[in-house]
Every structure is written in structure tokens, then in C-alpha cells.
């Protein structure tokens, strides 16, 4: 296992006492893009939630190492501070907290600053990222995700990716519910952020976002196990023939 990687080693995980992940082995090195595809109920979102220590998702065996350090059992905020980012499938709404205030504090935590940037300096940084994501500046003063459409929530998630520049990005069905135009904007945002400093793990049902992201590796997850790995052509195969041959 490379030290500069997010290494998942024989990971088993349960939800409400039922085993969902049954031995996942995967290594996401910085500078690479991995995609996990699979049918509904295969364990894709369980994997994302387990990696970030979400309550109710219990790792029962194995380990997860970020740059050689185990993160299993850590509180979610500490995992995030270590540079592991999750773009959620269904981002939560936070009433009473403005988007800009939330991002300013989160930016300081994710980038290791002792205190947040000054309001004016951060506003300039946020405005630039919002422009890249095609978001009106008025979103900065709105409450976090409150009243945002599905597509706006997904744009806001990828905006955070651009602001925080984590070491490892886990993108859980970021493409779900997006029309063609929004999909392009989101994919472009991911492509702007990725690079040699970041490993990316994309979780998706479909090949459509992968056509823009061009993954280095594609893995098929069925019934809690990776049953096939390959290059980008594997995603094309799934698009044409579905998952039936793997189920």
C-alpha cells in the first residue's frame, strides 16, 4: 500500500446489524480517479458513509488508512481535517446558517488554519468559486442548501471541493438528478479540482459523468464486494449491457 493513498483493506461494515460490505480492498492514490459502479443496494453509499464515520454505519473488520494512518473509528470532523472530503448524495439543509458563514468556518478547518480568513478576503475567494460553478452570488447569504434545487445542492457540493482542495474526494452519486447542462458544470468543477495532490473516488450508477471525468480505474460493486475492476472501457460495457452478468 502506498503511503500517499486512501487505502481500504478488507473492509466489512454493517447497518442495523446487517452486513452490507463484505470485504472491500481498494487503494486510491493521489493523482488518480477511481469509479465505483453497481446496482441499487450493492453497498456503494454504505462504503462512502463508512469511510467518513457516519453514525449507524459500523466497520466490523478491516481498516482504512489515509496517508498511512488509520481513520476508522475517528469522529467525522477529524477525518475531514485529515483531508478526506465527502460530497453527499443527499446534502442536508441547515436552517439559520448562511452558506458563506458555513463555508468560511469549514474552509479554515479543512485547510488547517488557526482561524478563518477575514470576511472580505473570503468573500472574494467564494465569489470566484461561485462564478466558476455558475451560481449567483445571492446564494452566499442564503441558508445552507435551504430552498436549493437538487442541481444547486450538487453544484454547492463541488464548489466546496474547489474551496477546500482535500487530499481525497469521495463523490457519492454527485451526478444523480442533474440535467445535461448541470452535469457538465459539475463535471468541469471536479476536473478543475483534481490533480496530483488529490485522489478521487466517484460513486455512480451511470457512465455519463465518467465520460467527462475519464477515470483511471473502474470497479464493479455487487452484494458488498468488488467483483470486477478495469479501465474506463468497463464503464462503457456496463452502459451497454448493464449489471446482470455480475449479479
Please tell me the pTM assigned to this model: 0.93
The cell for 20 is 452490507
Q: Is residue 101 part of a domain?
A: no
The cell for 58 is 459500523
pLDDT of residue 31 exceeding 90: yes
**Cross-strand bridge partners of residue 7:** 27, 65
Domain with 174, as residue range(s), is 5-89+147-246
User: Which residue pairs, CB below 8 angstroms and at least 24 apart, start in 174-179?
Assistant: 174/87, 174/202, 174/204, 174/209, 175/204, 175/206, 175/208, 175/209, 176/89, 176/150, 176/205, 177/150, 177/151, 178/150, 178/151, 178/154, 179/151
CB neighbour class for 58 (10 Å; exposed up to 12, middle 13-18, buried from 19) = middle
Q: Is residue 56 part of a domain?
A: yes
Q: How far apart are CA 190 and CA 211, in angstroms?
A: 13
Q: Using pLDDT thresholds of 50, 70 and 90, give the confidence band for residue 138.
A: very high
Q: How far apart are CA 10 and CA 62, in angstroms?
A: 5
CATH of residue 38: 3.40.50.300
Q: How far apart are CA 71 and CA 82, in angstroms?
A: 9
Q: If you average pLDDT over residues 66-93, what whole number do you get?
A: 92
For residues 221 and 38, is the Cβ–Cβ distance under 8 A? yes
> Could you read off the pLDDT of 147-180 as tens digits, one per residue?
999 899 999 999 999 999 999 999 999 998 899 9
Q: Is residue 114 part of a domain?
A: no
Q: Is residue 96 part of a domain?
A: no
Number of domains in the chain: 1
Q: Is residue 135 part of a domain?
A: no
Q: Is residue 204 part of a domain?
A: yes
**Cross-strand bridge partners of residue 170:** 86, 201
pLDDT for 247 equals 79
* Residue 120 zone, left/alpha/beta (φ > 0; ψ -120 to 50; rest): alpha
Q: Using pLDDT thresholds of 50, 70 and 90, give the confidence band for residue 1.
A: low
CB neighbour class for 225 (10 Å; exposed up to 12, middle 13-18, buried from 19) = middle
Q: Is residue 124 part of a domain?
A: no
Q: Is residue 153 part of a domain?
A: yes
> Could you read off the pLDDT of 178-228 as tens digits, one per residue?
999 999 999 999 999 999 999 999 999 889 999 999 999 999 999 999 999
Amino acid at each position: 500500500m502506498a503511503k500517499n493513498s486512501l487505502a481500504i483493506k478488507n473492509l466489512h461494515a454493517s447497518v442495523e446489524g446487517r452486513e452490507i460490505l463484505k470485504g472491500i480492498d481498494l487503494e486510491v492514490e493521489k493523482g488518480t480517479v477511481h469509479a465505483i459502479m453497481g446496482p441499487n443496494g450493492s453497498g456503494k453509499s454504505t462504503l462512502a458513509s463508512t469511510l467518513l464515520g457516519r453514525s449507524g454505519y459500523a466497520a466490523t473488520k478491516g481498516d482504512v488508512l489515509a496517508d498511512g494512518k488509520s481513520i476508522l473509528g475517528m469522529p467525522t470532523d477529524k477525518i475531514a481535517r485529515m483531508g478526506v472530503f465527502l460530497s453527499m448524495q443527499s446534502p442536508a439543509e441547515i436552517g439559520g446558517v448562511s452558506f458563506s458563514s458555513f463555508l468560511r468556518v469549514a474552509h479554515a478547518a479543512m485547510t488547517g488554519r488557526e482561524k478563518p480568513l477575514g470576511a472580505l478576503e473570503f468573500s472574494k475567494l467564494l465569489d470566484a468559486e461561485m462564478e466558476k460553478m455558475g451560481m449567483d452570488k445571492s446564494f452566499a447569504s442564503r441558508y445552507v442548501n435551504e430552498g436549493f434545487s437538487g442541481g444547486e445542492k450538487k453544484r454547492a457540493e463541488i464548489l466546496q471541493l474547489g474551496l477546500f482542495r482535500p487530499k481525497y474526494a469521495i463523490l457519492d452519486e454527485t451526478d444523480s438528478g442533474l440535467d445535461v447542462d448541470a452535469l457538465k458544470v459539475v463535471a468541469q468543477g471536479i476536473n478543475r479540482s483534481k490533480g496530483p495532490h488529490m485522489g478521487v473516488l466517484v460513486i455512480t450508477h451511470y457512465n455519463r459523468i465518467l465520460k467527462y471525468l475519464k477515470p483511471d480505474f473502474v470497479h464493479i460493486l455487487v452484494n458488498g464486494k468488488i467483483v470486477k475492476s478495469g479501465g474506463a472501457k468497463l464503464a462503457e460495457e456496463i452502459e451497454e449491457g448493464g449489471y446482470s452478468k455480475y449479479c
